[in-house]
Amino acid sequence: MSELSLARSRPLEGEGSDVAGTGDTVRRVLFHLLCLVLPLTSFLFVATGPHASGVGWWLLPLALSIAADFSGITDRRQPPQALPRWPFDALLYGLVALQVANLLLAFRLIAMTGFFDWHTLVAVLLVGTSSGYSGIVVAHELIHRRVRHQRLLGRVLMGLVLYDHFATEHVRGHHVRVGTPEDPATARFGESFHAFLRRTLPGQFASAWRLECRRLGDERMPWHDRRQLGNQVLHGLVAEWAFAAGVAAVFGGAAFAFHLLQAAWAVRLLECVNYFEHWGLVRTGARVDTTDSWDTDSAFTLY
């Protein structure tokens, strides 16, 4: 945890600036293009497969990405508030398209090669990792947006990793209870990752379900209550597993098993972030502030 530090409560270099010059805008957009490295690698791998040889070499960009994160290069500058939004929004939509394409092409590839093949392992690592940040990180951004279709798109991305309830729990639960014993997504002091994982996975789903039941009028309503027809967590659960069943029907059992594995890998990455982000922190104030999260200054991670 040497690279992690408490999120800063004081201004940093460049923080608070309202003006972004053209050069600064271009530089930041170009740096943000680094987020395409793994999704494009995944796309090229699944689109051009099956591969006669050298399957393992496709993992090189993933290994280099991990190495870059340990390079020690940091960036603590805050972006100007006046940066134009459209290039970054365009990048978000591009990542959404890549995520969907990568999954569909991966299903096709696994259907061709069979499950017990090196292509499956590489596809899980590449596409699953890409699902973790091209899918979940983009979804996290979108579910916080105020535009309805963007929030819906965020839920679709979460559904592609069988984790739609995150959209409910994260926005309406985690943001309210972060750093408190009531938050299933806050790791406790001394808690191991696997202990956290065993607690947070069912805990977040149960919390999301209760939040929806409360919205519908009764936090303790039974599952067979007619009001549950309006339960968004139930809607997401049905939709994501209907999609998974469709994968099995169209592409076969091998593709279905791959879908489960890439989703599990992506969710594990998400919960790794949750684990480190709030590990051992206890909120002392009534409102959440920057000291309630751990942060990293790794330049590569930022993009």
- pLDDT, mean over the chain: 89
**Mean pLDDT across 84-92:** 91
Q: How far apart are CA 124 and CA 193, in angstroms?
A: 21
pLDDT for res 114: 97
pLDDT digits (tens, 9 = 90+) for 117-145: 999 999 999 999 999 988 999 999 999 99
**Mean pLDDT across 194-215:** 98
Provide CB contacts within 8 A for 238, sequence distance 6+.
none
Of 253, 248, 209, nearest to 114 (Cα)? 253
pLDDT for res 302: 73
In the chain, DSSP finds a helix count (H) and a strand count (E) of: 13, 2
pTM beyond 0.85, yes or no: yes
H or E, element range at 6 = strand 4-6
Q: How far apart are CA 10 and CA 275, in angstroms?
A: 24
Strand partners, 6: 294
pLDDT for res 204: 98
What backbone phi and psi angles, to 5 degrees, belong to 74?
Answer: -120, 160
DSSP states along 107-127: HHHHHHH-SSSHHHHHHHHHH
**Mean pLDDT across 233-254:** 98
Q: Which residue has the higher pLDDT, 57 or 70?
A: 57
